[in-house]
Structure formats: C-alpha cells, structure tokens
Amino acid sequence: MTLPGVQASEGLRGPSQGKPGRSRLAWPPLPRGARNWFRWRFRAMRALRLLFAPCLPKGRAAPEHGNLPFVFSSMAAERSFIAIKPDGVQRGLVGEILGRFERKGFKLVGLKQLTPSRELAESHYGVHRERPFFAGLVDFITSGPVVAMVWEGDGVIASARKLIGATKPLEAEPGTIRGDLAINIGRNVIHGSDAPETAEFEIGLWFTPAELSDWTPADQVWRAEG
C-alpha cells in the first residue's frame, strides 16, 4: 500500500544521499533476517514521525521518547468514569480522592459537579433495575451533588478499582479510598467503572464530547515509558 503522493521505496534516503528517485517518506520493507530488525525499526519510526509531523501543533516537533510519535500513545490511552457520591462531596473528600488519582499518575480529562436527575440516575444504575435496592440507589445518588470525572491512562480501569477498594468498605484494604474513608456499603463514597464497556457507556452518559479535554501533561515522559 502506498500513501497518496508518496512513492513506494526500499528506504528513506533522499536524493542528497546519492539515491535519486527514492521518496523521502516511505515505509521500509520488513527484512528477512532478524539481525536487521533494529535497523528496520529505526527506519519505521522515522517514517512515522515524518508522517505524523503535520498532526502536531505548529512549531512543535514530534517527541523522540519511545521512538513513536506521542499521538500514538494518546490514541491508545484507556479512560475510566469515576464519580464521588453525595456522601463524599458532603464530607469534603473531593480533594483527597482527586489527589490520589493525580499522584498515581493518571490524567484528568473530564470534571464537573452536578446533582443528577432521576433519569440520569436510573440510566446509570439500569443494570440493577430489577433488584430490590434499585430505588434506594437512585434516591441516594440524586440526593445531592456528585463530582463526575474521567481519568485517562494505561490500565486506568483496573488500577482505579484497586485504588477504590472493595464495595463493602469494611472489607476494603487499608490504603484504598473505601478502606480509609468509609465504613458502610450504603455510604461508600465513590463509584468507578468496572470494565471497558461500562466505562464507555458511563462516560457517554455523564459527559458530552465537548466536555472532555484532550491534553498532554508537561511531565508525561516521566509518567509512563513509550
């Protein structure tokens, strides 16, 4: 496959290197021998940096760390929906909880405080609609302000669940949010998505695309490799 306006080629050398007719931007062929792997990888990464350079803001060069344009890691990042429930807001735990996710190294891409409508609450807890505790869940989550958040990072869904702790606070490990800050299952302070499909649904339910901010932390290279 050849990109529009780019000729197929065996390498990245330009006319200035004595190889007229070869394109400056081309995908190098995979070598047969494993001994050429690193050479091929270098050429492939260089081709990708050249390809995605126009996608970067004007005046900003493609980052070198990890050998891949940073646009790739941004596209692949996982997101999770996290909500501080009315009890956590009323007890003044917002800063404490938000800080734990920040110190872990995850990136905050969505944040707002609202008192959920009954319709929103019923959609959020729809999977429990036939359970006897469904009405109680809806009544509680609509009883006061909720801080809704979207966090981004590698493995954020599973990691957030570990940070949050077991559903029953008395069974949650010390050091987790529920283990440290809650004692009762009906007042367990926080909600977190439990799977990629759930996260996608909940983020779409609580946030519009315009409310999510795509940005790159200045210290991203120190948060995660590649």
Which residues have a catalytic role annotated? 191
Close Cβ partners of 133 (under 8 Å, ≥ 6 residues apart) = none
**By the 8 A CB rule, do 141 and 121 touch?**
yes
CA distance 137 to 87: 13
> Which runs of consecutive H residues, i.e. helices, occur in the chain?
37-52, 70-76, 86-90, 94-104, 118-124, 134-141, 156-164, 177-181, 196-206, 220-223
Q: Which residues contact 137 (CB under 8 A, 6 or more apart)?
A: 121, 125, 128
| 153 bridge partner residues | 78
Residues near 101 by beta carbon (within 8 Å), at least 6 away in sequence:
82, 108, 149, 151, 160, 163
What is the C-alpha separation between 190 and 181, in angstroms, rounded?
A: 10
Phi-psi region of 27 (alpha: psi -120 to 50; beta: other; left: phi over 0): beta
